Amino acid sequence: MNSPSDALSPGTPAPNFSLRATPDQLVSLRDFQGRPIILAFYPADWSPVCGDQMSLYNEILEEFHRFDAELIGISVDGAWCHVAFSRDRHLHFPLLADFEPKGHVARLYGVYRPEEGTSARALFVIDEAGIIRWSYVSPVGVNPGADGIIRALEAMRTGVPHAH
Amino acid sequence: MRTKDRVLLSGAVGPRDHAQGPASAPITLVEYGDYECPHCARAHPIVKQLQRQLGSDLRVVFRNFPLTNIHAHAQHAAESAEAAGAQGRFWEMHDTLFKHQRALDDDSLAGYAATIGLDTDRFERELAGHLHGARVREDVATGARSGVNGTPTFFINGVRHDGGWELEMLQAAIRRVTADVIAD
Protein backbone atom coordinates (compact mmCIF):
# COMPACT_ATOMS: atom_id res chain seq x y z
CA MET A 1 0.00 0.00 0.00
CA ASN A 2 1.30 3.44 0.84
CA SER A 3 -0.35 4.97 -2.16
CA PRO A 4 -2.05 8.23 -1.34
CA SER A 5 -5.38 6.86 -2.56
CA ASP A 6 -5.58 4.54 0.48
CA ALA A 7 -5.45 7.44 2.89
CA LEU A 8 -8.78 8.92 3.94
CA SER A 9 -9.48 11.80 1.62
CA PRO A 10 -10.75 15.35 2.12
CA GLY A 11 -14.41 15.55 3.02
CA THR A 12 -14.31 12.39 5.15
CA PRO A 13 -15.21 12.72 8.83
CA ALA A 14 -12.06 12.00 10.85
CA PRO A 15 -12.50 8.72 12.76
CA ASN A 16 -12.34 9.31 16.49
CA PHE A 17 -9.81 7.41 18.60
CA SER A 18 -8.36 7.33 22.10
CA LEU A 19 -4.67 6.61 22.50
CA ARG A 20 -2.11 6.98 25.25
CA ALA A 21 0.07 10.08 25.21
CA THR A 22 1.87 8.90 28.36
CA PRO A 23 1.51 5.66 30.31
CA ASP A 24 -1.29 7.23 32.38
CA GLN A 25 -2.88 9.73 30.00
CA LEU A 26 -5.40 8.91 27.30
CA VAL A 27 -6.02 11.45 24.53
CA SER A 28 -9.04 11.43 22.23
CA LEU A 29 -9.41 13.27 18.97
CA ARG A 30 -12.72 14.61 20.31
CA ASP A 31 -10.85 16.40 23.11
CA PHE A 32 -9.67 18.87 20.47
CA GLN A 33 -12.96 19.49 18.73
CA GLY A 34 -13.48 23.15 17.87
CA ARG A 35 -9.87 23.63 16.79
CA PRO A 36 -8.07 22.60 13.62
CA ILE A 37 -5.99 19.46 14.17
CA ILE A 38 -2.88 18.33 12.37
CA LEU A 39 -2.44 14.56 12.63
CA ALA A 40 1.09 13.55 11.71
CA PHE A 41 1.61 9.80 11.38
CA TYR A 42 5.30 8.86 11.26
CA PRO A 43 7.07 5.50 11.18
CA ALA A 44 9.08 5.55 14.39
CA ASP A 45 10.70 7.55 17.17
CA TRP A 46 14.48 8.00 17.16
CA SER A 47 15.31 8.77 13.54
CA PRO A 48 19.08 9.32 13.57
CA VAL A 49 19.08 12.82 12.06
CA CYS A 50 18.97 16.34 13.52
CA GLY A 51 15.97 17.64 11.70
CA ASP A 52 13.70 14.61 11.95
CA GLN A 53 10.07 15.28 11.17
CA MET A 54 8.88 15.71 14.77
CA SER A 55 11.83 17.94 15.74
CA LEU A 56 11.18 20.03 12.66
CA TYR A 57 7.50 20.52 13.52
CA ASN A 58 8.51 21.29 17.09
CA GLU A 59 10.51 24.27 15.81
CA ILE A 60 7.63 25.69 13.82
CA LEU A 61 4.71 25.12 16.21
CA GLU A 62 4.32 28.90 16.22
CA GLU A 63 3.40 28.75 12.52
CA PHE A 64 0.64 26.22 13.31
CA HIS A 65 -0.56 28.14 16.36
CA ARG A 66 -1.14 31.19 14.15
CA PHE A 67 -4.12 29.18 12.89
CA ASP A 68 -5.04 28.03 16.40
CA ALA A 69 -4.18 24.52 15.19
CA GLU A 70 -3.00 21.68 17.44
CA LEU A 71 -0.37 19.21 16.27
CA ILE A 72 -0.54 15.55 17.26
CA GLY A 73 2.15 13.02 16.34
CA ILE A 74 1.23 9.31 16.09
CA SER A 75 3.44 6.26 15.67
CA VAL A 76 3.26 2.60 16.70
CA ASP A 77 5.88 3.16 19.41
CA GLY A 78 4.75 2.55 22.99
CA ALA A 79 3.97 5.31 25.47
CA TRP A 80 7.22 4.85 27.42
CA CYS A 81 9.19 5.15 24.22
CA HIS A 82 7.32 8.35 23.33
CA VAL A 83 8.04 9.77 26.78
CA ALA A 84 11.77 9.18 26.34
CA PHE A 85 11.84 10.48 22.77
CA SER A 86 9.75 13.52 23.59
CA ARG A 87 12.00 14.36 26.55
CA ASP A 88 15.15 13.94 24.47
CA ARG A 89 13.94 16.22 21.68
CA HIS A 90 12.10 18.65 23.99
CA LEU A 91 8.87 18.25 22.06
CA HIS A 92 6.05 20.63 22.98
CA PHE A 93 3.17 18.65 21.50
CA PRO A 94 1.70 15.20 22.26
CA LEU A 95 2.90 11.96 20.69
CA LEU A 96 0.29 9.22 20.74
CA ALA A 97 1.04 5.51 20.98
CA ASP A 98 -0.80 3.53 18.28
CA PHE A 99 0.50 0.48 20.07
CA GLU A 100 -2.34 -1.83 21.10
CA PRO A 101 -3.85 -3.09 18.92
CA LYS A 102 -0.80 -2.15 16.92
CA GLY A 103 -1.42 0.36 14.14
CA HIS A 104 -5.19 0.33 14.70
CA VAL A 105 -5.58 4.08 14.19
CA ALA A 106 -3.19 4.10 11.22
CA ARG A 107 -5.43 1.44 9.64
CA LEU A 108 -8.53 3.52 10.36
CA TYR A 109 -6.94 6.37 8.41
CA GLY A 110 -5.69 4.07 5.63
CA VAL A 111 -2.00 4.66 6.22
CA TYR A 112 -0.72 1.45 7.84
CA ARG A 113 2.16 -0.36 6.12
CA PRO A 114 1.86 -4.01 7.19
CA GLU A 115 5.08 -5.05 5.50
CA GLU A 116 7.00 -2.57 7.66
CA GLY A 117 4.84 -2.85 10.75
CA THR A 118 4.61 0.95 10.94
CA SER A 119 2.46 3.72 9.59
CA ALA A 120 3.44 5.68 6.51
CA ARG A 121 4.51 9.30 6.84
CA ALA A 122 1.03 10.70 6.44
CA LEU A 123 -0.49 14.05 7.25
CA PHE A 124 -4.12 14.93 7.88
CA VAL A 125 -5.50 18.39 8.51
CA ILE A 126 -8.88 18.22 10.24
CA ASP A 127 -11.19 21.20 10.62
CA GLU A 128 -13.05 22.46 13.68
CA ALA A 129 -16.04 20.23 12.86
CA GLY A 130 -13.93 17.07 12.66
CA ILE A 131 -13.85 16.80 8.86
CA ILE A 132 -10.62 15.91 7.06
CA ARG A 133 -9.78 18.85 4.84
CA TRP A 134 -6.40 17.74 3.47
CA SER A 135 -4.35 14.56 3.50
CA TYR A 136 -0.98 13.64 2.14
CA VAL A 137 1.17 10.49 2.15
CA SER A 138 4.83 11.24 1.73
CA PRO A 139 7.11 9.07 -0.41
CA VAL A 140 9.00 6.60 1.78
CA GLY A 141 12.10 8.20 3.22
CA VAL A 142 11.13 11.78 2.39
CA ASN A 143 10.28 14.00 5.32
CA PRO A 144 7.36 16.00 3.94
CA GLY A 145 8.09 19.28 5.70
CA ALA A 146 5.26 21.58 6.70
CA ASP A 147 4.44 23.60 3.59
CA GLY A 148 1.40 21.46 2.70
CA ILE A 149 0.03 21.72 6.24
CA ILE A 150 0.37 25.49 6.32
CA ARG A 151 -1.29 25.86 2.94
CA ALA A 152 -4.17 23.63 4.03
CA LEU A 153 -4.67 25.69 7.19
CA GLU A 154 -4.59 28.87 5.12
CA ALA A 155 -7.16 27.47 2.70
CA MET A 156 -9.45 26.52 5.61
CA ARG A 157 -9.25 30.04 6.96
CA THR A 158 -10.01 31.67 3.61
CA GLY A 159 -12.50 29.05 2.46
CA VAL A 160 -10.62 28.44 -0.79
CA PRO A 161 -10.24 24.72 -1.57
CA HIS A 162 -6.66 23.55 -1.17
CA ALA A 163 -5.02 22.11 -4.27
CA HIS A 164 -2.00 20.08 -3.36
CA MET B 1 4.27 25.21 -2.30
CA ARG B 2 4.33 22.17 -4.54
CA THR B 3 3.80 21.48 -8.19
CA LYS B 4 3.59 17.74 -8.59
CA ASP B 5 6.76 16.50 -6.94
CA ARG B 6 8.55 19.82 -6.90
CA VAL B 7 8.63 21.78 -3.68
CA LEU B 8 9.20 25.46 -4.31
CA LEU B 9 10.94 28.13 -2.30
CA SER B 10 8.56 30.55 -0.64
CA GLY B 11 9.96 34.04 -0.28
CA ALA B 12 11.98 34.98 -3.34
CA VAL B 13 15.65 35.77 -2.91
CA GLY B 14 15.95 39.51 -2.47
CA PRO B 15 17.80 42.37 -0.84
CA ARG B 16 17.10 41.13 2.69
CA ASP B 17 19.05 37.94 1.99
CA HIS B 18 22.71 37.29 2.64
CA ALA B 19 24.10 36.36 -0.75
CA GLN B 20 27.50 35.64 -2.23
CA GLY B 21 27.86 35.83 -5.98
CA PRO B 22 26.18 38.02 -8.56
CA ALA B 23 22.40 38.45 -8.65
CA SER B 24 22.68 37.73 -12.39
CA ALA B 25 24.22 34.27 -11.77
CA PRO B 26 22.31 31.55 -13.66
CA ILE B 27 22.30 29.35 -10.55
CA THR B 28 21.09 30.36 -7.10
CA LEU B 29 21.63 27.91 -4.28
CA VAL B 30 19.63 28.72 -1.13
CA GLU B 31 20.55 26.88 2.03
CA TYR B 32 18.44 26.75 5.20
CA GLY B 33 20.84 25.79 7.95
CA ASP B 34 21.69 25.65 11.64
CA TYR B 35 25.16 26.57 12.91
CA GLU B 36 25.04 23.83 15.53
CA CYS B 37 23.92 21.09 13.14
CA PRO B 38 26.78 18.71 12.34
CA HIS B 39 25.36 17.95 8.89
CA CYS B 40 25.37 21.65 8.05
CA ALA B 41 28.99 21.91 9.17
CA ARG B 42 29.85 19.03 6.82
CA ALA B 43 27.94 20.68 3.98
CA HIS B 44 29.75 24.00 4.50
CA PRO B 45 33.04 23.11 2.72
CA ILE B 46 31.02 21.42 -0.03
CA VAL B 47 29.21 24.67 -0.75
CA LYS B 48 32.59 26.44 -0.77
CA GLN B 49 33.89 23.95 -3.29
CA LEU B 50 30.87 24.55 -5.54
CA GLN B 51 31.56 28.27 -5.32
CA ARG B 52 35.17 27.75 -6.41
CA GLN B 53 34.11 25.51 -9.29
CA LEU B 54 31.23 27.60 -10.59
CA GLY B 55 32.59 31.07 -9.89
CA SER B 56 30.28 33.84 -11.01
CA ASP B 57 27.78 31.29 -12.34
CA LEU B 58 26.70 30.63 -8.75
CA ARG B 59 24.98 32.78 -6.17
CA VAL B 60 24.78 31.30 -2.67
CA VAL B 61 22.18 32.43 -0.14
CA PHE B 62 22.03 31.36 3.50
CA ARG B 63 18.88 31.52 5.63
CA ASN B 64 18.60 30.50 9.28
CA PHE B 65 16.78 27.44 10.47
CA PRO B 66 18.04 26.85 14.03
CA LEU B 67 16.72 23.70 15.71
CA THR B 68 16.50 25.44 19.03
CA ASN B 69 14.99 22.58 21.01
CA ILE B 70 17.82 20.18 20.29
CA HIS B 71 20.71 22.60 19.80
CA ALA B 72 21.16 24.83 22.82
CA HIS B 73 23.33 27.45 21.10
CA ALA B 74 21.74 27.46 17.65
CA GLN B 75 19.51 30.50 18.16
CA HIS B 76 22.25 32.72 19.57
CA ALA B 77 24.65 31.55 16.90
CA ALA B 78 22.14 32.51 14.20
CA GLU B 79 21.55 35.90 15.83
CA SER B 80 25.30 36.48 16.06
CA ALA B 81 25.69 35.88 12.33
CA GLU B 82 22.92 38.42 11.78
CA ALA B 83 24.58 40.83 14.22
CA ALA B 84 27.79 40.47 12.21
CA GLY B 85 25.72 41.01 9.07
CA ALA B 86 24.45 44.29 10.53
CA GLN B 87 28.12 45.35 10.57
CA GLY B 88 28.74 44.08 7.05
CA ARG B 89 30.55 40.90 8.11
CA PHE B 90 27.92 38.17 7.81
CA TRP B 91 29.98 35.70 5.83
CA GLU B 92 33.08 36.02 8.02
CA MET B 93 30.95 35.08 11.04
CA HIS B 94 29.12 32.38 9.06
CA ASP B 95 32.41 30.68 8.18
CA THR B 96 33.76 31.08 11.70
CA LEU B 97 30.68 29.56 13.33
CA PHE B 98 30.80 26.45 11.17
CA LYS B 99 34.54 26.13 11.72
CA HIS B 100 34.12 26.33 15.48
CA GLN B 101 30.83 24.55 15.80
CA ARG B 102 31.74 22.90 19.09
CA ALA B 103 32.24 26.25 20.84
CA LEU B 104 29.14 28.36 20.32
CA ASP B 105 28.55 29.61 23.86
CA ASP B 106 28.09 33.37 24.29
CA ASP B 107 31.69 33.97 25.41
CA SER B 108 32.99 32.19 22.32
CA LEU B 109 30.61 34.16 20.10
CA ALA B 110 31.94 37.41 21.58
CA GLY B 111 35.46 36.17 20.95
CA TYR B 112 34.70 35.51 17.29
CA ALA B 113 33.15 38.96 16.99
CA ALA B 114 36.42 40.47 18.22
CA THR B 115 38.52 38.26 15.94
CA ILE B 116 36.69 39.30 12.81
CA GLY B 117 36.91 42.95 13.79
CA LEU B 118 33.37 43.79 14.82
CA ASP B 119 32.39 46.57 17.16
CA THR B 120 32.09 44.16 20.08
CA ASP B 121 30.09 46.49 22.34
CA ARG B 122 27.43 46.82 19.68
CA PHE B 123 27.59 43.09 18.92
CA GLU B 124 27.09 42.08 22.54
CA ARG B 125 24.35 44.64 23.08
CA GLU B 126 22.43 43.41 20.04
CA LEU B 127 22.87 39.77 21.02
CA ALA B 128 21.74 40.39 24.63
CA GLY B 129 18.72 42.37 23.40
CA HIS B 130 17.82 39.73 20.79
CA LEU B 131 17.76 42.51 18.22
CA HIS B 132 18.02 39.98 15.39
CA GLY B 133 15.73 37.33 16.88
CA ALA B 134 12.77 38.40 14.76
CA ARG B 135 14.83 38.21 11.59
CA VAL B 136 15.85 34.65 12.44
CA ARG B 137 12.19 33.77 13.08
CA GLU B 138 11.27 35.20 9.68
CA ASP B 139 13.74 32.85 8.06
CA VAL B 140 12.25 29.91 9.96
CA ALA B 141 8.76 30.95 8.84
CA THR B 142 9.72 31.15 5.16
CA GLY B 143 11.54 27.84 5.59
CA ALA B 144 8.40 26.20 6.99
CA ARG B 145 6.40 27.46 4.02
CA SER B 146 9.08 26.31 1.62
CA GLY B 147 9.00 22.71 2.81
CA VAL B 148 12.31 22.76 4.67
CA ASN B 149 12.47 19.21 5.94
CA GLY B 150 15.65 19.11 7.98
CA THR B 151 18.98 20.85 8.08
CA PRO B 152 20.56 21.54 5.75
CA THR B 153 17.82 21.93 3.12
CA PHE B 154 18.95 23.26 -0.25
CA PHE B 155 16.94 24.92 -3.02
CA ILE B 156 18.42 25.12 -6.50
CA ASN B 157 16.86 27.94 -8.51
CA GLY B 158 13.89 27.88 -6.19
CA VAL B 159 13.23 24.13 -6.24
CA ARG B 160 13.89 21.99 -3.16
CA HIS B 161 16.74 19.56 -3.68
CA ASP B 162 15.60 16.21 -2.30
CA GLY B 163 18.70 14.10 -2.91
CA GLY B 164 21.86 13.96 -0.82
CA TRP B 165 24.12 16.97 -0.56
CA GLU B 166 27.51 15.40 -1.14
CA LEU B 167 29.48 17.34 -3.76
CA GLU B 168 28.76 14.98 -6.64
CA MET B 169 25.04 14.94 -5.87
CA LEU B 170 24.75 18.70 -5.70
CA GLN B 171 26.81 19.04 -8.88
CA ALA B 172 24.54 16.59 -10.69
CA ALA B 173 21.41 18.31 -9.41
CA ILE B 174 22.71 21.72 -10.48
CA ARG B 175 23.49 20.33 -13.92
CA ARG B 176 19.97 18.93 -14.22
CA VAL B 177 18.14 21.97 -12.93
CA THR B 178 20.12 24.48 -14.95
CA ALA B 179 20.98 22.54 -18.10
CA ASP B 180 19.00 25.03 -20.13
CA VAL B 181 20.40 28.21 -18.60
CA ILE B 182 24.12 27.37 -18.68
CA ALA B 183 24.13 25.17 -21.76
CA ASP B 184 27.54 25.22 -23.39
Which of B137, B141, B150 faces A51 most closely, judged by CB atoms? B150
- Write out pLDDT tens, residues B111-166: 999 999 999 999 999 999 999 999 999 999 999 999 999 999 999 999 999 889 99
* Residue A50 a catalytic site member: yes
Out of A12-21, A43-52, A105-114, A151-160, pick the least confident: A43-52
Residue B19 within any structural domain of the chain: yes
What are the pLDDT digits (tens) for A115-127? 999 999 999 999 9
Domain count of the fold of chain A: 1
Nearest CA in chain B to A62: B141
CB contact under 8 A, A145 and B67: no
Q: Quick check: B70 and A50 CB within 8 A?
A: yes
Q: Is residue A75 part of a domain?
A: yes
> Residue A96 falls within a domain, yes or no?
yes
Q: Is residue A115 part of a domain?
A: yes
What mean pLDDT do residues B41-52 have? 98
Cα-trace Rg, chain B: 16
Residue A95: which CATH number?
3.40.30.10
Is B183 within a domain?
no
- Give the total residue count for chain A: 164
Q: What is the CATH number of the domain that holds B66?
A: 3.40.30.10
Of the candidates A88, A101, A128, which has an alpha carbon nearest to the alpha carbon of residue A20?
A: A101
Residue A164 lies in a domain: no
Cβ contact, residue pair A89, B39, below 8 Å: no
| CA A93 to the chain's CA centroid | 11
Sign of CA dihedral B80, B82, B85, B87: negative
Which candidate from B147, B148, B150 shows the least CB-CB separation from A49?
B150
- In a mutational test of the A interface, the residue from B40, B149, B161, B165 whose CB has the highest number of chain A CBs within 10 Å is B149
Burial A104-136 (b: 16+ CB within 10 A, else e): ebbeebbbbbeeeebbbbbbbbbbeebebbbbb
% residues pLDDT > 90 (chain A): 83
Neighbouring CB atoms inside 10 A of A49's CB total 13
- Short-list A19, A8, A7, A17, CA closest to A98: A19
Residue B16 resides in a domain:
yes
**Is residue B79 within 8 Å of residue B127, measured between CB atoms?**
yes
State the DSSP H helix or E strand holding residue B20, giving kind and residue range, or none if neither.
strand B18-20
Can you give the residue range of the structural domain that contains A137?
A: 4-158
Nearest CA in chain B to A60: B144
The pLDDT value recorded for residue A3 is 47
- Give me the catalytic one of A50, A142, A160, A163: A50
Structural domain contains residue B141: yes
Specify if A40 maps to a domain. yes
Question: How many structural domains does chain B have?
Answer: 1
Q: What is the model's pLDDT at position A159?
A: 76
CA atoms within a 13 Å half-sphere pointing along the CA-CB vector of B152: 29
Domain range for residue B153?
A: 2-178
The whole-number pLDDT of residue B184 equals 43
A interface residues, B as partner, C-beta within 8 Å:
49-53, 55-56, 58-60, 62-63, 89-92, 142-148, 150-151, 164
Preferred mutation among A54, A59, A136 to probe B, highest tally of B CBs within 10 A = A59
Whether B49 is in a domain gets the answer: yes
